[in-house]
Amino acid sequence: MPPKSRTRKKRKAAEPDEPDEPDEPPPPPPPRPKRAKTKRGGRSGDNASADNAQGPLEGEEERPGLSETDSVAKLDGEDRAQRLGLRGVGTDPKAEWQWVRSLGTGGVGHAGLWKRVDENGELIDRIVAKESSPEFFMSRDLWYDEPLKTPKEAALMESINQMRDSKNVLRCLGWRVYKVLKIIRLYLEYCEHGDLENLIEIYDRKRGSSTDHYLPVRAIWAIFESLVAALCLLHRGGMPGHSLPPKWKPMVHQDIKPHNIFMTKPDEVIWKQIPTPKLADFGTATQDTFIIPGGGTKGYRAPEQYDYEDPDNEDSDNAMSNVDITTKSDIWAAGRTILVLMNLTKDTDIKEHRFGSGNILPEYRDVATENYYPDELKDLVERCLRDKPEERPDVVELWNSIQTHVGTPISRGALPMRQAQRPFDEEPLELPGTGKDHGWGI
């Protein structure tokens, strides 16, 4: 659905002026002299270093030329992505990337997969290019600080990617703004094993033929720990026990759900044989201290994220709308995500949970599911899902509680769960995208 304003200020925010672009594209300008080289991360004209995630990419031309923008503007999705082409990103700024396929089209844009091969046709690298829809180009919510300069989603992701221990946040590899076409393009790392929604669908189908198929306990703990590790960076600027940036402003993601958590190759040290989860889609993330309700996705919003005000009813009780949206809202969504993984609840079947809705969480799919998972895990999920934000754990408390169960040896001479190999009685995890060129969605 179209992005709506996720934050509100004390004063009314004016819409930015249209960019200073002519209605009809001018004739191509004469060749320009070569630019002087700039330091990595610096700016040269409208661009910055090509192999750096700190700014827009230099080297990818705004193809097609200005004389053809009218025809390209009429394209969308896969057709527009292919017409734009892709170059100027990765370790070789001059390399041409080949189109692979569309990964999905959502309410705010399109994502496509590209690959780079060597002279023998062997795969070198893959990357995801995500383009925003032109109709949202002028929305202030898309821009960081100054309108039409730096995409907010890219800026927030890059601020996390620079941090130590940021492997559980999807990497933004660069970005580009097409002012004439009114498109923002983000370049993101490709995750070959898809997202957690794909994983739920696989195991839900297995449950359809047998009641003995669950996501393994060790996999649930691994996902839980990885998600909380990502939230440690967003909420406080670093992991527990590490020095923190002195002026870090807590970041609220606002849209944590299985569809926004991707899986890439396993780590060689911890959670062996389990893909590494990565939190993605920072389109609604914010560091503002005052957040209006309405952000996020139905079913994964914390109770305080819903809008309880009824403008058509002067007698409506708006007391529930006075609960602030904070980092504790992300904690609720994290708990909801883990509960959904245990229950194998598909996105289309999840129910809203508002203040006063009468729904009791956590609620399990059946008695067998509730009995399969350990009490320690279920107790943590229950604490995350409490209605009152002040009764939920903060991210440090949640991290420490998880480490009590996964970072401590269960017996003398044994390795902690997070460092041990997969037990013999645990079946290998069935993964989307295994052995195939698919598994990434938006």
Q: How far apart are CA 218 and CA 429, in angstroms?
A: 10
> What pLDDT does 322 receive?
78
Residue 370 DSSP SS3: helix
- Rounded Cα–Cα distance for residues 144 and 69 (Å): 26
Q: What is the pLDDT along the chain (442 residues), one digit of tens a residue?
A: 455 544 444 333 334 444 444 444 444 444 443 433 333 333 322 232 333 333 455 434 444 454 456 667 778 889 999 999 998 887 777 888 999 999 988 768 899 999 999 989 999 999 999 999 998 899 888 999 888 899 999 999 999 999 999 999 999 999 999 999 999 999 999 999 999 999 999 999 888 766 668 999 999 999 999 999 999 999 999 999 999 999 999 999 999 999 999 999 999 999 999 999 999 999 999 999 899 898 899 999 999 999 887 655 554 555 566 799 999 999 999 999 999 999 999 988 999 999 988 778 899 999 999 999 999 999 999 999 999 999 999 999 999 999 999 998 877 778 999 999 999 889 889 888 654 444 444 4
3-class SS of residue 155: helix
Q: Are the C-beta atoms of residues 301 and 333 closer than 8 Å to each other? A: yes
Give yes or no for a cis peptide into 362 (omega within 30° of 0).
yes
Residue ranges in 46-187 assigned as alpha helix (H): 69-73, 77-84, 152-161
Question: Domain limits of the chain?
Answer: 66-189, 194-419
According to DSSP, residue 264 is labeled: E
Residue identified by tokens 């720990």 is 225
CATH topology for the 66-189 domain: Phosphorylase Kinase; domain 1 (3.30.200)
Structural tokens at position 69: 């923008």
CB neighbour class for 243 (10 Å; exposed up to 12, middle 13-18, buried from 19) = exposed
Cβ-proximal residues to 168 (8 Å cutoff; 6+ apart), any chain: 226, 227, 229, 230, 276, 277, 278, 279
For residue 64, whether the previous peptide bond is cis, meaning omega lies within 30 degrees of 0, is yes
CATH superfamily, domain at 194-419: Transferase(Phosphotransferase) domain 1 (1.10.510.10)
- Cα 406 from Cα 222, distance rounded (Å): 9
Residue 308 confidence (pLDDT)? 84
Q: Is the pTM of this model over 0.75?
A: yes
Task: Fill in the amino acid letter for 53.
Answer: A
Distances (CA, A) of 375 to 43, 340, 361: 54, 16, 15
d(CA 61, CA 176): 10
The confidence score (pLDDT) of residue 16 equals: 40
